[in-house]
Structure 1
Amino acid sequence: MYKEFREREALQKIKNHKIYLLALLLPFVLFVIGFELGPMMAMFKNSFYADDGIHLTMNQYITIFKSKFYLQAIKNSIVISIISAVISILIAVVTAYSFTKFSRKIQNRLLMIANVTSNFEGIPLSFSYIILLGNNGLFTLLFAKLGWNIFADFNLYSWTGLILVYIYFQIPLAILLIYPSFQGIKQQWKEASALLGGSTISFWLRIGIPVLLPSIVGTFSILFANAMGAYATAYALVGSNYNLLSLQIASLVSSDVTLKPQLGSALGVLLATTMIGAMWINERMMRRIRRDLR
């Protein structure tokens, strides 16, 4: 009898503890609903209204898919996101691997620097690049005075300059995401590979890279979504000179000339769909990779 009472008391404590944890989680749930799901549902609903905001219609989506201008914006955003994500991952893999060669104390400091740098984006980042590499930037004028025409054919306010800035704020984030995967590669694996006659290259091709691949694929989807949604960096650097999806959405919902929030909502839905699609493909690929590694 006493044992049953103690078991019931233990179960009640566990139940009360779960209720307490759910109560603590409630503010976060309300925050997600209020600032994530709520605006998303409002945007989705608004995309099916005509410009008058009264009549339901599919004309906003028809306008987008019939317009070469908006299709070009989608294409440009996807291209710059893929290019910046791929280059950033390649650099981050090498950099994260080099971190592991230092002592734990230095690794922590390097990760702290990467963490701080990953938050340096938007208008401050674009302004810094303009000061350093703009037409009258510090490095541009300095090298020109020294007779080195390193930046003679480089234009910061071009497609190349935009990709360069995107890569800059993508690399630290990629390092932070890929670095933990290197901790999963054990020294015993390298020693076993060497004892069996395997070279360093064969180890990375047969063991190292397959172990890192799920993390690399997952990082790619995050970097892709990060670049697709970037607005302040591109706006501060090139303004409306380049046709990007995020810039077009902003111009449609906040412009004094072409104010069309319904059309902007439709573009926002397509942007969200592209991101979700990329993450879904990434999840499928990661499942297949993990299944093949077993």
Structure 2
Amino acid sequence: MTSKKQLFVWILPFLVLILLFFIVPLLYMVISSFSNGHGFTLDHYQEVLTSSYILQGFKNSITLSAVSAVIALIVTLFAVYAMMRFSEPVRERILMISNLTSNFSGIPLAFAFIVLLGNSGLFTLLFEKWGIDSLTSFSLYSWGGLLLVYIYFQLPLSLMLLYPIYYGIQQQWKDAAALLGASTFHFWRKIGVPIMLPGIVGTFSVLFANAMGAYASAYALTGSNYNLVAIRIGALISGDIFAQPELASAIAVLLGVTMIIAMLLSEWSIKKTRRNL
């Protein structure tokens, strides 16, 4: 009993932290989404579901998150495959760098891209000097620029999530397949990729949720010029014209529901894939 009491005392600060910074704000957000200052109402949800502008924000956010997650997955699948050919110390250094760069996001990341690829950025001026700028209409402050920034902060996270999955592919399996006459391509198509598929699907769901909740980088680049759900929530809370925190809470709840649905679909896909193995 004494050990249980000691354990409870040790985890009590953690429980209080979760209560104050997660449970209470979540409950307040949900309650606020059903309130209009006078009582219970569903008007905020009706406005969200009937507003073409807010629905466009959801569409833009889902598209941007899905595309950036898929591209980051494809790039890191090949990157981690190449990493496995390096020695253990080299792989550890790459993972350490990935861990550091995964924390480089938000406004500092947006500022770095503006310095490099903004209207007067280093590479922009170099491209103009070399005459390359006429070959492309790329703008950092457009959908393509946002996609580039999103892919950048998705890559380190994807690499760190996929590395353990690759590490689980045992060398004995490759040797056995080679002895039976299977090529490297056939090994990965018939054995490697099916085994890794549940982990890949799970990684995609994490990357999708990570991009859906991103706010600072997108806002620093485009302000309110590009319609994303996170930017709409921030605008309604800060009040570009006047604050509407209850409507922002309703949008945030639906954003959370979207992420939960994505996670449930991912979990269903993972279970289905494992049953088919």
Alignment TM class, shorter chain as reference: over 0.9
Partner deviation per Cα, 1:207-249 (whole Å, 9 max, x = no partner): 1101111111111111111100000000000111111000000
Match status 1:35 vs 2:21: yes
- Count of matched residue pairs: 277
Q: Give 5+ residue unaligned stretches, structure 2.
A: none
Q: Which consecutive residues of structure 1, in runs of 5 or more, have no partner in the other structure?
A: 1-14
The residue aligned with 1:222 is: 206
**1:104–1:151 CA distance, 2 compared to 1 (3 A):** farther
The alignment partner of 1:243 has SS state of coil
Q: d(CA) in 1 for partners of 2:214 and 2:118?
A: 21
Contact 1:123 1:233 (8 Å CA) reproduced: yes
Partner of 2:76: 92
CA distance in 2, matches of 1:150, 1:92: 31
CA distance in 2, matches of 1:212, 1:150: 43
Distance 1:193 1:47 in 2: 57
Deviation digits for residues 75-96 of structure 1 (CA, Å, limit 9, x no counterpart): 1111101000110111111111
- Report the Cα offset of residue 268 of structure 1: 0.5
Q: Is the Cα contact below 8 Å between 1:85 and 1:224 reproduced in 2?
A: yes
Q: Separation in 2 of the partners of 1:151 and 1:37?
A: 51
Deviation beyond 6 Å, 4+ runs, structure 1: none
Structure 2 letter corresponding to 1:26: L
The residue identity in structure 2 corresponding to 1:241 is: N
Partners of 1:26 and 1:222 in 2: how far apart?
28
| Corresponding residue number in structure 2 for 1:253 | 237
Residue aligning to 1:3: none
Query: 2:219 and 2:114 mapped to 1: Cα distance?
Result: 13
Instruction: Please give the secondary structure, in 1, of the residue aligned with 2:273.
Output: helix
What is the root-mean-square deviation in Å for CA atoms of aligned residues?
A: 1.3
SS in structure 1 at match of 2:133:
coil
Matched AA of 2:105: E
Q: Distance in 2 between matches of 1:126 and 1:281?
A: 31
Instruction: Kindly indicate whether residue 122 of structure 2 is the aligned counterpart of residue 109 of structure 1.
Output: no
TM-score between both structures, scaled by the size of structure 2: 0.97
Deviations 1:47-99 (A, max 9, x none): 0112xx12211000001111101110111111101000110111111111111
1:61 aligns with 2:35: no
Match of 1:282 in 2: 266
The CA distance in 2 between the partners of 1:68 and 1:149, in whole Å, is: 35
Alignment of structure 1 residues 92-241 onto 2, 5 Å: 92-149=76-133, 152-241=136-225
- Using the size of structure 1 for normalisation, the TM-score is 0.91
- Read off the aligned partner of 2:28 and give its amino acid letter: A
Name the CA distance, whole Å, in 1 between partners of 2:78 and 2:195. Answer: 15
